[in-house]
Amino acid sequence: MYKRISGLAMVIGAVVLLGAGCSKGSLLSNKDKQPIEPAISVSPQALEENNEILVNEASLPEDGWIAIHTKENGQMGEIIGYTFLAAGKDSKIKITVDRNKVTPSLVAMLHYDRDPKGTFESPGSDGPVIKDQQVILKEFAILNQSELIKEFELSKPTSTSNDDTPKPTPPTSQGTRKEFVITAKQWSFSPATIKVKKGDRVVLKVTSTDVSHGLNLPAFNINETLEPGVTKTVEFVADKVGTFTFSCSVMCGTGHKAMTGTLVVE
Ligand SMILES: [Cu+2]
Protein backbone atom coordinates (compact mmCIF):
# COMPACT_ATOMS: atom_id res chain seq x y z
CA MET A 1 0.00 0.00 0.00
CA TYR A 2 2.72 2.47 1.01
CA LYS A 3 4.69 1.44 -2.03
CA ARG A 4 1.74 2.11 -4.29
CA ILE A 5 1.21 5.59 -2.88
CA SER A 6 4.85 6.49 -3.24
CA GLY A 7 4.75 5.12 -6.75
CA LEU A 8 1.78 7.35 -7.53
CA ALA A 9 3.55 10.32 -5.93
CA MET A 10 6.53 9.65 -8.15
CA VAL A 11 4.36 9.60 -11.22
CA ILE A 12 2.70 12.88 -10.21
CA GLY A 13 6.08 14.37 -9.41
CA ALA A 14 7.39 13.35 -12.80
CA VAL A 15 4.38 14.90 -14.54
CA VAL A 16 4.86 18.16 -12.61
CA LEU A 17 8.55 18.21 -13.47
CA LEU A 18 7.80 17.50 -17.10
CA GLY A 19 5.27 20.30 -17.14
CA ALA A 20 7.75 22.72 -15.62
CA GLY A 21 10.34 21.57 -18.10
CA CYS A 22 7.96 22.28 -20.94
CA SER A 23 7.05 25.79 -19.87
CA LYS A 24 10.69 26.57 -19.22
CA GLY A 25 11.46 25.30 -22.68
CA SER A 26 8.87 27.53 -24.31
CA LEU A 27 10.13 30.55 -22.38
CA LEU A 28 13.59 29.89 -23.67
CA SER A 29 12.44 29.56 -27.25
CA ASN A 30 10.61 32.88 -26.88
CA LYS A 31 13.84 34.53 -25.86
CA ASP A 32 15.72 32.85 -28.67
CA LYS A 33 13.22 34.15 -31.19
CA GLN A 34 14.65 35.92 -34.19
CA PRO A 35 15.25 39.63 -33.70
CA ILE A 36 12.39 41.83 -34.87
CA GLU A 37 12.95 43.05 -38.41
CA PRO A 38 11.56 46.42 -39.47
CA ALA A 39 8.57 45.74 -41.71
CA ILE A 40 5.21 47.20 -42.65
CA SER A 41 2.21 45.87 -44.52
CA VAL A 42 -0.79 47.84 -45.76
CA SER A 43 -3.54 46.82 -48.19
CA PRO A 44 -5.30 48.96 -50.78
CA GLN A 45 -8.28 50.54 -49.07
CA ALA A 46 -10.99 53.16 -49.27
CA LEU A 47 -10.76 56.08 -46.89
CA GLU A 48 -13.83 56.04 -44.68
CA GLU A 49 -15.61 58.96 -43.01
CA ASN A 50 -13.38 58.68 -39.96
CA ASN A 51 -10.29 59.50 -42.08
CA GLU A 52 -8.40 56.51 -40.73
CA ILE A 53 -5.88 54.49 -42.66
CA LEU A 54 -5.54 50.89 -41.54
CA VAL A 55 -2.06 49.42 -41.36
CA ASN A 56 -2.27 45.61 -41.24
CA GLU A 57 1.00 45.04 -39.45
CA ALA A 58 4.16 46.88 -38.52
CA SER A 59 7.25 45.90 -36.61
CA LEU A 60 10.35 47.72 -35.45
CA PRO A 61 13.01 46.62 -32.93
CA GLU A 62 12.92 50.08 -31.29
CA ASP A 63 10.35 52.81 -30.72
CA GLY A 64 9.40 54.67 -33.86
CA TRP A 65 6.66 56.14 -36.00
CA ILE A 66 4.53 55.18 -38.94
CA ALA A 67 4.11 58.13 -41.29
CA ILE A 68 1.72 58.34 -44.20
CA HIS A 69 3.19 60.25 -47.15
CA THR A 70 1.43 61.40 -50.28
CA LYS A 71 2.78 60.24 -53.62
CA GLU A 72 2.51 62.36 -56.72
CA ASN A 73 4.19 62.01 -60.11
CA GLY A 74 6.28 59.19 -58.72
CA GLN A 75 7.63 61.40 -55.94
CA MET A 76 7.04 61.03 -52.23
CA GLY A 77 5.29 64.05 -50.86
CA GLU A 78 4.35 65.50 -47.53
CA ILE A 79 3.30 63.59 -44.42
CA ILE A 80 -0.48 63.74 -43.95
CA GLY A 81 -0.71 61.60 -40.82
CA TYR A 82 1.41 59.60 -38.41
CA THR A 83 1.28 57.54 -35.26
CA PHE A 84 3.66 56.20 -32.65
CA LEU A 85 4.86 52.60 -32.95
CA ALA A 86 6.25 51.05 -29.77
CA ALA A 87 9.20 48.66 -30.12
CA GLY A 88 7.97 45.26 -31.23
CA LYS A 89 5.16 44.14 -33.44
CA ASP A 90 1.70 45.64 -33.77
CA SER A 91 -1.28 44.99 -36.02
CA LYS A 92 -4.49 46.73 -37.09
CA ILE A 93 -2.99 50.16 -36.52
CA LYS A 94 -5.16 53.16 -37.33
CA ILE A 95 -3.71 56.44 -38.54
CA THR A 96 -5.78 59.56 -39.07
CA VAL A 97 -4.85 61.45 -42.22
CA ASP A 98 -5.74 64.78 -43.80
CA ARG A 99 -8.61 63.82 -46.07
CA ASN A 100 -8.14 66.73 -48.45
CA LYS A 101 -4.55 65.83 -49.27
CA VAL A 102 -4.98 62.15 -50.08
CA THR A 103 -3.34 61.14 -53.38
CA PRO A 104 -4.38 58.08 -55.47
CA SER A 105 -1.70 56.11 -53.73
CA LEU A 106 -0.09 56.75 -50.38
CA VAL A 107 3.10 55.49 -48.80
CA ALA A 108 3.31 54.17 -45.26
CA MET A 109 6.86 54.57 -43.99
CA LEU A 110 8.63 53.58 -40.80
CA HIS A 111 10.56 56.34 -39.07
CA TYR A 112 12.89 56.20 -36.07
CA ASP A 113 12.08 57.99 -32.83
CA ARG A 114 15.32 59.80 -32.11
CA ASP A 115 16.01 62.54 -29.57
CA PRO A 116 13.94 64.39 -28.52
CA LYS A 117 11.97 61.19 -27.97
CA GLY A 118 8.20 61.02 -28.03
CA THR A 119 7.67 63.80 -30.55
CA PHE A 120 7.74 63.32 -34.27
CA GLU A 121 10.38 65.45 -35.98
CA SER A 122 10.32 64.94 -39.70
CA PRO A 123 12.04 66.55 -41.46
CA GLY A 124 14.46 66.45 -38.58
CA SER A 125 15.90 63.77 -36.36
CA ASP A 126 13.20 61.12 -36.90
CA GLY A 127 14.43 59.96 -40.29
CA PRO A 128 13.15 56.95 -42.23
CA VAL A 129 14.07 53.45 -41.06
CA ILE A 130 16.67 52.03 -43.40
CA LYS A 131 17.75 48.43 -43.60
CA ASP A 132 20.19 47.06 -46.16
CA GLN A 133 20.13 50.46 -47.93
CA GLN A 134 16.34 50.23 -48.30
CA VAL A 135 13.80 52.53 -46.73
CA ILE A 136 11.11 50.41 -45.08
CA LEU A 137 7.89 51.51 -46.73
CA LYS A 138 4.74 50.22 -48.37
CA GLU A 139 2.86 51.98 -51.14
CA PHE A 140 -0.88 51.34 -51.28
CA ALA A 141 -3.84 52.59 -53.32
CA ILE A 142 -6.72 54.69 -51.98
CA LEU A 143 -9.63 53.18 -53.85
CA ASN A 144 -12.04 56.08 -53.42
CA GLN A 145 -9.53 58.90 -53.93
CA SER A 146 -11.37 60.44 -56.92
CA GLU A 147 -14.54 60.72 -54.83
CA LEU A 148 -12.62 62.40 -52.02
CA ILE A 149 -11.28 65.01 -54.42
CA LYS A 150 -14.78 65.70 -55.79
CA GLU A 151 -16.04 66.06 -52.23
CA PHE A 152 -13.25 68.52 -51.49
CA GLU A 153 -13.81 70.57 -54.66
CA LEU A 154 -17.50 70.82 -53.85
CA SER A 155 -16.80 71.97 -50.32
CA LYS A 156 -14.63 74.86 -51.53
CA PRO A 157 -16.14 78.34 -51.85
CA THR A 158 -17.06 79.00 -55.48
CA SER A 159 -16.21 82.69 -55.67
CA THR A 160 -13.90 82.63 -58.70
CA SER A 161 -15.59 79.86 -60.62
CA ASN A 162 -17.14 81.96 -63.39
CA ASP A 163 -13.98 82.94 -65.26
CA ASP A 164 -12.40 80.71 -67.87
CA THR A 165 -8.85 80.68 -66.60
CA PRO A 166 -7.70 77.35 -65.18
CA LYS A 167 -7.62 77.78 -61.43
CA PRO A 168 -4.46 76.25 -60.03
CA THR A 169 -1.87 78.00 -62.15
CA PRO A 170 1.29 75.96 -61.77
CA PRO A 171 4.28 78.07 -60.83
CA THR A 172 6.08 79.00 -63.99
CA SER A 173 9.69 79.99 -63.94
CA GLN A 174 9.47 83.73 -64.20
CA GLY A 175 12.36 83.94 -61.78
CA THR A 176 15.98 83.34 -62.60
CA ARG A 177 17.50 79.94 -63.03
CA LYS A 178 19.87 79.38 -60.11
CA GLU A 179 22.24 76.48 -60.23
CA PHE A 180 24.14 75.09 -57.26
CA VAL A 181 26.82 72.41 -57.26
CA ILE A 182 26.63 70.57 -53.95
CA THR A 183 28.92 67.96 -52.47
CA ALA A 184 27.56 65.43 -50.01
CA LYS A 185 29.98 63.56 -47.80
CA GLN A 186 30.08 62.16 -44.29
CA TRP A 187 28.46 64.15 -42.68
CA SER A 188 27.63 67.38 -44.36
CA PHE A 189 26.45 69.10 -47.48
CA SER A 190 28.68 71.75 -49.00
CA PRO A 191 27.50 74.44 -49.36
CA ALA A 192 25.10 73.80 -46.49
CA THR A 193 23.06 76.96 -47.04
CA ILE A 194 21.45 77.93 -50.31
CA LYS A 195 19.72 81.25 -50.84
CA VAL A 196 17.30 81.99 -53.67
CA LYS A 197 14.46 84.37 -54.44
CA LYS A 198 10.84 83.32 -54.58
CA GLY A 199 9.98 82.21 -58.10
CA ASP A 200 13.53 81.15 -58.98
CA ARG A 201 14.00 77.91 -60.84
CA VAL A 202 16.46 76.11 -58.57
CA VAL A 203 18.79 73.49 -60.01
CA LEU A 204 20.82 71.42 -57.57
CA LYS A 205 23.63 69.24 -58.89
CA VAL A 206 24.47 67.00 -56.00
CA THR A 207 27.26 64.46 -55.82
CA SER A 208 28.32 62.20 -52.98
CA THR A 209 32.06 61.84 -52.75
CA ASP A 210 32.14 58.93 -50.30
CA VAL A 211 29.22 56.62 -49.45
CA SER A 212 25.53 56.56 -50.41
CA HIS A 213 23.60 59.54 -49.10
CA GLY A 214 20.19 60.98 -49.68
CA LEU A 215 18.82 64.41 -50.42
CA ASN A 216 15.48 64.98 -48.75
CA LEU A 217 13.77 68.35 -49.14
CA PRO A 218 10.17 67.58 -48.20
CA ALA A 219 8.95 71.17 -48.57
CA PHE A 220 9.48 70.76 -52.32
CA ASN A 221 8.71 67.04 -52.56
CA ILE A 222 12.30 66.08 -53.20
CA ASN A 223 13.81 62.86 -51.99
CA GLU A 224 16.70 61.44 -53.98
CA THR A 225 19.30 58.80 -53.31
CA LEU A 226 22.86 59.85 -54.03
CA GLU A 227 25.11 57.04 -55.13
CA PRO A 228 28.80 57.78 -54.65
CA GLY A 229 30.31 59.55 -57.64
CA VAL A 230 27.03 59.96 -59.53
CA THR A 231 25.72 63.51 -59.94
CA LYS A 232 21.98 63.87 -59.39
CA THR A 233 20.25 66.91 -60.84
CA VAL A 234 17.21 68.15 -58.98
CA GLU A 235 15.03 70.99 -60.29
CA PHE A 236 12.16 72.83 -58.71
CA VAL A 237 10.56 76.25 -58.56
CA ALA A 238 11.02 77.96 -55.21
CA ASP A 239 7.37 78.95 -55.10
CA LYS A 240 7.16 79.80 -51.41
CA VAL A 241 9.10 82.01 -49.06
CA GLY A 242 10.67 80.44 -46.00
CA THR A 243 13.57 78.59 -44.49
CA PHE A 244 13.51 74.91 -45.32
CA THR A 245 15.70 72.10 -44.07
CA PHE A 246 17.12 69.48 -46.36
CA SER A 247 18.74 66.39 -44.95
CA CYS A 248 20.38 63.12 -45.79
CA SER A 249 17.80 60.35 -45.99
CA VAL A 250 20.14 57.38 -46.26
CA MET A 251 21.67 56.08 -43.04
CA CYS A 252 25.34 56.84 -43.64
CA GLY A 253 26.97 56.39 -40.24
CA THR A 254 27.25 58.04 -36.85
CA GLY A 255 26.93 61.62 -38.09
CA HIS A 256 23.94 60.92 -40.34
CA LYS A 257 21.42 62.75 -38.17
CA ALA A 258 23.48 65.94 -38.28
CA MET A 259 23.79 65.85 -42.07
CA THR A 260 21.45 68.70 -42.90
CA GLY A 261 21.38 71.92 -44.83
CA THR A 262 19.16 74.94 -45.26
CA LEU A 263 17.35 76.40 -48.23
CA VAL A 264 16.36 80.02 -47.76
CA VAL A 265 13.74 81.38 -50.14
CA GLU A 266 13.38 85.16 -49.86
CU1 LIG B 1 22.91 59.99 -44.03
Q: How far is the CA of 249 from the centre of ligand 1 (A)?
A: 5
Looking at the structure, tell me whether residues 144 and 183 fall in a common domain.
no
Domain count, the chain: 2
Q: Mean pLDDT in runs of 10 for the chain (266 residues)? A: 51 46 44 79 93 95 94 86 92 92 93 86 84 89 85 64 48 74 96 95 94 96 94 94 96 95 96
**Is there a domain that residue 78 lies in?**
yes
- Check if the beta carbon of residue 211 is closer than 8 Å to that of residue 187: no
Question: Is the residue at 202 inside a domain?
Answer: yes
Q: What is the pLDDT of residue 220?
A: 95
Query: In this predicted structure, what is the pLDDT of residue 20?
Result: 44
Task: Give the CATH number for residue 226.
Answer: 2.60.40.420
Last residue of a domain, one of 98, 129, 148: 148
Taking the centre of ligand 1 as the mean of its atom positions, its distance from the CA of residue 261, in whole angstroms, is: 12
Q: Are residues 55 and 121 in the same domain?
A: yes
How much distance in Å is there from the Cα of 251 to the middle of ligand 1? 4
Distance from C-alpha of 95 to C-alpha of 108, rounded to nearest angstrom: 10
Give distance in angstroms: CA of 185 to centre of ligand 1: 9
- Does some domain include residue 22? no
pLDDT of residue 4: 54
Tally the C-alpha atoms within 13 A of residue 22's C-alpha that lie toward its C-beta: 6
SS3 76: strand
**Domain residue limits at 254:** 177-265
Main-chain dihedrals φ then ψ at residue 161, nearest 5 degrees:
-85, -5
Give the span between the Cα atoms of 22 and 16, in whole angstroms.
Answer: 10
CA of 255 to the centre of ligand 1 (A): 7
- Is residue 43 domain-shared with residue 140, that is, in the same domain? yes
**Residue 119 is which amino acid?**
T
Q: State whether 201 and 115 are in the same domain.
A: no
Residue 103 lies in a domain: yes
| Sign of the Cα pseudo-torsion (11, 16, 20, 23, in order) | positive
Q: 195-227 burial string, b = 16+ CB within 10 Å, else e?
A: ebeebbbbebebbbeeebbbbbbbbbbbbbbbe
Does residue 25 lie in a domain region? no
Q: Ligand 1 centre and the CA of 198: distance in Å? A: 28
